[in-house]
Structure 1
Amino acid sequence: METIDFGRTASDYARHRAGFPPSLMERLAPYRIGEAGQTVLDLGTGTGTLARLFADRGAVVTGLDPAEPLLAKAREARPDITWIAGRAEDTGLPGAAFDVVTAGQCWHWFQAGAAAAEARRLLRPGGRIVIAHFDWLPLPGNVVEATERLILAHNPRWSLSGGTGMHPRWLTDLRTAGFGGVETFSFDVDVPYTREGWVGRIRASAGVAASLPPEAVDRFSAELTALIDTGELAVPHRVWAVIARSPA
């Protein structure tokens, strides 16, 4: 089985992975998610881009991730947030301690049943879980489609190509764990990237620097740079989220 280690991508991850747009928080507001004073646990937090959005709204945020190099970048950016090393399936945190549990761009890396059960344990009665994604969209002829072809040429084991930005299986994960009030929403945004920024963003992905040896990453980066014939890109992305409620 291929080993994925995002800790190896920490510098590119912190610099080039833009994270969720602030408009996600506006979409969550009608659900009373992300309000000032709420306690929020962000699972698989990475460098903390989603955790920071909640903290900016006045929530009391804890970010959890197994990769210490990513947490180091998170601490540098926001020392006011609590950052701890741990896994979503067994956090070691006290039960019924959080109003909101979030998982941004990471649920597919978890053991879903164990992570959903742990989230339910961590939430107060009636608390909310949010599983969110921010996926690039490979459309016919666009830079994402060409980039995915190149990733597969360098790493045929990569299994995340051709996505639509929709993740209906997560709804079943939550219902199976006893969550109710399940709702979803999605919206599309174009994200501006320079050529250098897009190459850095792709290096910081599972199919490249998180799984390939350094010399292979260098070859890939050179080929992707040569593939892009413009200095400015508008890369289509889809924000998708499922929200569910812990039993009262």
Structure 2
Amino acid sequence: MTVDFGPTAADYARYRAGFPPEFLARLTALGVGLRGQRVVDLGTGTGVLARELAAAGCVVTGVDVAPELLDQAREQDAEAGVDVTYRVAPAESTGLPAGQWDVVTAAHCWHWFDAPHAVAEVRRLLAPGGRIVLCSRDYLILPGNVCEASEELILAHHPGWPMAGSPGTHEEWADDLTGFTGLATFTFDVDVPYTHEAWRGRMRSSNGVGASLPADRVAAFDEDLARLLRDRFPEDPMPVPHRVFAMVAVRP
């Protein structure tokens, strides 16, 4: 599947919510997100995590291959009053100086990378004792809920879409972190309120819709999703369950 989030950058920026406060509190307890820490946020996208870490007092550089997403990130940073440095580069070869970073993060994106090369780049970037954070905040598929119905609709418009059915936890990431120490994970669930309009925007920004389908097929999907919400999920706004997951490890 060819994926390009550039065409869906506006929806991505507007409709993808950030992590809840509990997430940063738990990271802080694991030594991440402390004031003054130097952080590289790989696959930063619209800067959701980078912005939260900058607001906590970290010095953050966000890296992404999509300049359209970084343009959205800069606009949102200006509105939030935070300062993040951005650069267009792949996670596997950032071009940033070696051994000068306390934390490297990757939120909602590790599955897009060439993991062996990305891990090698993380090792190169981190100072000894530095931490890597792999994390996600996925909507949670439950029998009969709006998440399940929305993914079924994506599959109707994009047969064979390979990213359906995420459980919201990613223990498999540990296989990529061989040689790191102090491995720790946490997970918790949270309901996020979405209006019908916002949920449609969230689903348009999916890798299976706006990032991989042509515009006419995205529009057709959106019309069908609007109808599905009216007919089956009339509550507006509606609570949408999400699962937050993080894995933290230390570079020896």
Instruction: Provide the residue aligned with 1:166 in structure 2.
Output: 169
Q: How does 1:108-119 map to 2 (within 5 A)?
A: 108-119=111-122
Counterpart of 1:236 (choices 212, 219, 241) is: 241
Pairing 1:37-186 to 2, within 5 Å after superposition: 37-79=36-78, 80-175=83-178, 178-186=179-187
Using the alignment, how far apart are the partners of 2:75 and 2:118 within structure 1?
27
Q: Could you tell me whether the CA contact under 8 Å between 1:22 and 1:53 is conserved in 2?
A: no
| Paired position in structure 2 for 1:190 | 191
Work out the CA distance in 1 between the residues paired with 2:153 and 2:240: 16
CA distance in 1 between partners of 2:164 and 2:186 (Å): 22
Where does the alignment leave 5 or more consecutive residues of structure 2 unmatched?
none
In the alignment, what sits opposite 1:15? 14
State the TM-score, normalized to the length of structure 1: 0.97
Q: Which runs of 4+ in 1 moved over 2 A?
A: none
How far the C-alpha of 1:157 sits from its partner, in A, is: 2.6
> Matches of 1:113 and 1:139 in 2, distance apart?
33
Q: In structure 1, give the amino acid aligned to 2:206.
A: S
Q: Deviations over 1:203-239 (max 9, x none)?
A: 0010001000000000000000010132211110000
Compute the displacement of 1:160 (Å): 1.4
Residues of 2 paired with 1:19 and 1:215: CA distance? 29
Q: The residue matched to 2:106 in structure 1 has which SS?
A: strand
Percent of aligned pairs with the same amino acid = 56
1:81 is displaced (CA, Å) by 0.8
Matched, 1:212 2:217: no
Measure the CA separation in 2 of the matches of 1:148 and 1:34.
33
Q: Which residue identity does 2:41 align to in structure 1?
A: D
How far apart are the structure 2 equivalents of 1:34 and 1:101? 11
Listed one character per residue, the Cα deviations across residues 162-196 of structure 1 (whole Å, up to 9, x for unaligned) are 11101111101011xx2111111100000100000
Question: Is the partner of 2:103 in helix, strand or coil?
Answer: strand
3-state secondary structure, aligned to 2:137: strand
Distance in 1, matches of 2:53 and 2:169, equals 23
Q: TM-score, normalised by structure 2?
A: 0.95
- CA shift at 1:40, angstroms? 0.5
SS at match of 1:115: helix
Distance in 2 between residues matched to 1:246 and 1:186, nearest whole Å: 22
Task: Give me the whole-angstrom Cα distance separating, in 2, the residues matched to 1:8 and 1:19.
Answer: 21
Letter in 2 for 1:29: T
**How many Å separate the matches in 1 of 2:160 and 2:124?**
35
Query: Paired residue for 1:246?
Result: 251
**DSSP-derived class of the 1:228 partner:** helix
How far apart, in 2, do the equivalents of 1:9 and 1:23 lie?
28
